[in-house]
């Protein structure tokens, strides 16, 4: 039989299937240095930005509805993340407080916000006592109420002012500036981790970029939008970058303690809503305090 006609020896078991599978398998997605799906993250951020801007341009109440919905969704994410073997915060009063506290703050100001928060905690105590799990259930519910609706309420009080829309725009732009400046500087120059055990990708170089971006945007927004002195913008930017960074680290510590990577998969490229709001919620009271004291 000619050599060309001789049957070829069969491939070793599994080789053919391996070759086919390797040929057909899609190439792994490339990850950037910051570990994000950058395209999805930018798209989601733009969609959220359009929603916020549209609500502000329609009327103040539209933003109140949007922010209150964010408070409820963020509260639900934290409720779902709590391990039931350790914590069982009461869902009904927790979600009710997430809706009531921000609205009270917008309508009636700081005193009403505080009263709604205290009232919520009292309800948590009664609910926890009825379930014979007073300490863990009440403590976890109170933490959620303080972390989400109470901090969101400061944005509501910013909006309550006569130039509230301008204050909200300033608050959002300065805080987003922290994220963008930190991301760019961290990707390009990040070498020295800020808190490696909590957030390995956060660097001191990124923090410097966040500070520079916050101060520049703070000066521009405060002078051009709020018509306040430039030094208020420097102060606002310097304090917001600290609050935003601490907010990011705090949420990372909460997720580490709960043993989860993201609060949910609600927002492509970002994770859950609280993964997007972590900087904003702590920056809100700082912005409210600075603008109330120096830009009124």
Q: What is the pLDDT of residues 76-93, one digit of tens each?
A: 999 998 887 678 888 999
- Asked if the model's pLDDT at residue 105 lies above 80, the reply is yes
Per-residue pLDDT averaged across 257-277, rounded? 78
Residue in the structure block whose two tokens are 């709604």: 116
**142/136 Cα distance (integer angstroms):** 10
The pLDDT score that the predictor gives to residue 262 is: 77
Cβ(57)–Cβ(95) below 8 Å:
no
* β-strand partners of 199: 195
- Asked if the model's pLDDT at residue 114 lies above 50, the reply is yes
**213/30 Cα distance (integer angstroms):** 28
Q: What is the average pLDDT score of the chain?
A: 84
Per-residue pLDDT averaged across 237-261, rounded? 89
Structure tokens, 103 = 């609205």
Residue in the structure block whose two tokens are 């109170």: 142
Q: What whole-number percentage of the chain has pLDDT above 90?
A: 48
Q: Residue 208: how many CB atoms within 10 A of its CB?
A: 17
- 266: closest CA among 12, 17, 44? 44
**Reported confidence tier of residue 12, pLDDT bands at 50, 70, 90:** low
The pLDDT score that the predictor gives to residue 147 is: 93
User: Distance from CA of residue 81 to its chain's centroid?
Assistant: 15
The pLDDT score that the predictor gives to residue 86 is: 79
Higher-confidence position of 234 and 84? 234
């Amino acid at each position: 039989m000619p050599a060309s006609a001789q049957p070829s020896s069969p491939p070793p078991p599994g080789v053919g299937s391996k070759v086919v599978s390797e040929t057909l398998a899609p190439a792994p997605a490339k990850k950037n240095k910051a570990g994000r799906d950058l395209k999805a993250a930018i798209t989601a951020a733009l969609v959220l930005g359009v929603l916020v801007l549209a609500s502000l341009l329609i009327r103040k109440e539209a933003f109140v509805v949007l922010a209150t919905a964010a408070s409820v969704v963020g509260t639900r994410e934290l409720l779902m993340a709590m391990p039931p073997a350790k914590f069982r915060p009461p869902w009904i009063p927790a979600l009710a407080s997430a809706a009531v506290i921000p609205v009270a703050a917008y309508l009636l100001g700081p005193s009403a916000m505080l009263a709604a928060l205290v009232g919520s905690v009292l309800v948590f105590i009664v609910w926890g006592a009825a379930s014979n799990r007073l300490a863990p259930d009440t403590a976890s519910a109170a933490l959620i109420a303080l972390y989400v609706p109470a901090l969101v309420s400061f944005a509501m009080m910013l909006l309550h002012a006569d130039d509230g829309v301008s204050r909200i725009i300033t608050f959002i732009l300065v805080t987003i500036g922290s994220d963008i400046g930190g991301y760019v500087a961290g990707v390009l120059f990040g070498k020295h981790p800020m808190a490696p055990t909590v957030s390995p990708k956060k660097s001191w170089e990124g923090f410097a970029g966040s500070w520079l971006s916050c101060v520049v945007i703070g000066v521009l927004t405060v002078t051009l939008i709020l018509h306040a002195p430039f030094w208020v913008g420097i102060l606002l930017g310097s304090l917001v970058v600290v609050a935003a960074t601490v907010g990011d680290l705090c949420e990372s510590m909460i997720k580490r303690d709960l043993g989860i990577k993201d609060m949910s998969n609600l927002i492509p490229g970002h994770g859950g809503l609280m993964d997007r709001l972590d900087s904003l919620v702590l920056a809100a009271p700082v912005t409210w305090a600075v603008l109330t004291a120096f830009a009124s």
